Each structure stands twice: as C-alpha cells, then as structure tokens.
Structure 1
Amino acid sequence: MACRISELVIDAADPARLAEFWSKVLGYVELGREDDGSIEIGPPGVGFGGPQPTLILSPSGDPRAGKLRLHIDVNATDRDQDAELERLLALGARPVDVGQTGTESWHVLADPEGNEFCLLHTRLQPL
C-alpha cells in the first residue's frame, strides 16, 4: 500500500483572495473555512478524498524567503495552451522569469501572492 496526496497547504497573506484565484483556475469550490482563517477548496461534488487533492489556503504573515521548493503544474483541459494562458493572465496570474531560456514548452506564472506555478503544454482530459 502507498500514500497519495490528499491536500496541498499554501501559506497565504490573504487566504480568501488566493482561494478565489485558485478556485477559478482549477474549477474548484470552497469546501470549508476554519476558525483560524484557513479556507479549503476542492473539486465540486467530490471534495476531500477524491482523485484530485484539495488546496488549503492557510493564513500566514511570515514573509517568503527565497524560491519555493515546491510548485504546482497545471494543464488546460478544454482549450489550447495559448488560450489557457490568456485566461490565467485575466484571472490575475503574471509571467515570472525564473531563468527560463525561452525555448520551454511551458509558461512560468505566479499567483496573486507571487507563488510560482507552471502552465504545461499538453491538454489533459477533465476528470
């Protein structure tokens, strides 16, 4: 038996803002809020324990120190990469230079709080 990723926790200065952003990016819905200000989002109708991990946006006032050691990769499911890039930028993502050469098949972006993520080229089937 092995483990599987059930949820990812992201420290956030403004959990509500990031929950809204990532919900729109991933097609997730809010699953719950904790007294500490944490917000959990996940796939509609499935939630925690489904085939996709949920995200918990956890309040933190700690400044980020250096490059993230983990980042999220996303793939479009219903459009090509260029159209998805336009959609993500309209939602508030911004391009980030982390030393790319310009020949990569992916785009490096940051969410509204500067957390890097990549938009990969391959279109995936929706779950």
Structure 2
Amino acid sequence: MACRLSELVVDCRDPEELAAWWAEVLGYRVLSRDEDGAVEIGPETGFGGPAPTLVFAPVADPSPGKPRLHVDVSPSDRDQDAELDRLLALGATPADVGQTGEENWHVLADPEGNPFCLLRRRLEPPPTPERPT
C-alpha cells in the first residue's frame, strides 16, 4: 500500500489569520487549535478524508526565499476569471515567479506572501457528507 497525502503544514507568522483566509478560499472549516498556536483547517470530513487538511504553524520568522512547495487551486463553482476576482477581493495579490504571461493559470500570493496558482480547469466540488436526520 502506498502513502497518501493527509495534511500540508505551512509555517507562518499569524496562524489564525492565515487559516481563516485559506478556509474562506477553500470552503474549509477550523478542525483544531493546538496549544502551540497551530491551527488546522479542512473539509467537513476532517482529517483523513478525501482531501488533505492544512496546518498553519506559528514561527517567528518564516524562511525567506523561493519556497520548494506551493499549492494549486482550481475553481469548483465558477470559471477561472470569476474565481480570480473572488481571490483578489479576499486579499490575494498577483505574484511573479518568472512566468512568461502565456500560462493558462494565475500565480497569486496569500496575505503572508506564500505563492499559489489558480488553475483554469474547473473541478467539481467534493461531495457533502450525509448528516443523520
């Protein structure tokens, strides 16, 4: 059996603020808060579900320089242009990582400057878990 991606950890200055921002972007909710200040967000299914969770861990000074990992997001209920407008309204900013301008994706940065890409391809939203009635 192979491993499965279960969570991504992001070092940041303000875990509460960045977790809230990414929760809004992804339609996630806060799953837990640790004593050390880390905040975990994820889908309704929680940790171990079909999508990985994100853990925002507090660090005094996140490492500068080019990150070795970034997140790609895809629109799920609108086209790429409408999603770009939504992300910019939430506080994302355009980022230049050396792209040519011919790409069919947008490179943006979250409020702490972490780059991520908005892809063109629209994905269906994940199924909502059934709740007991």
Report what 2:130 is aligned to.
none
Does 1:16 pair with 2:16? yes
User: 5+ residue gaps in structure 1?
Assistant: none
One-letter amino acid matched to 1:125: E
Query: Contact 2:11/2:62 (CA < 8 Å) preserved in 1?
Result: no
Query: Contact 2:74/2:123 (CA < 8 Å) preserved in 1?
Result: yes
Report what 1:126 is aligned to.
125
Report what 1:56 is aligned to.
55
Q: Cα deviation per residue 1:55-112 (whole Å; 9 max; x = unaligned)?
A: 0000001242210100000000000000000000011110001111111000000000
- In 1, Cα distance between equivalents of 2:41 and 2:108: 20
Secondary structure, aligned partner of 1:50 = coil
Residue identity over aligned pairs, in percent, reads 67
Secondary structure, aligned partner of 1:19 = helix
Secondary structure, aligned partner of 1:121 = coil
Instruction: Calculate the aligned-residue CA RMSD, in Å.
Output: 0.7
Report what 1:103 is aligned to.
102
Aligned length in residues: 126
Does 1:82 pair with 2:81? yes
Q: Which has the larger radius of gyration?
A: 2
User: 5+ residue gaps in structure 2?
Assistant: 127-133
Secondary structure, aligned partner of 2:32 = strand
Any runs of at least 4 consecutive aligned residues in structure 1 with deviations exceeding 6 A, and if so which?
Answer: none
Normalising by structure 1, we get a TM-score of: 0.97
Secondary structure, aligned partner of 1:17 = helix
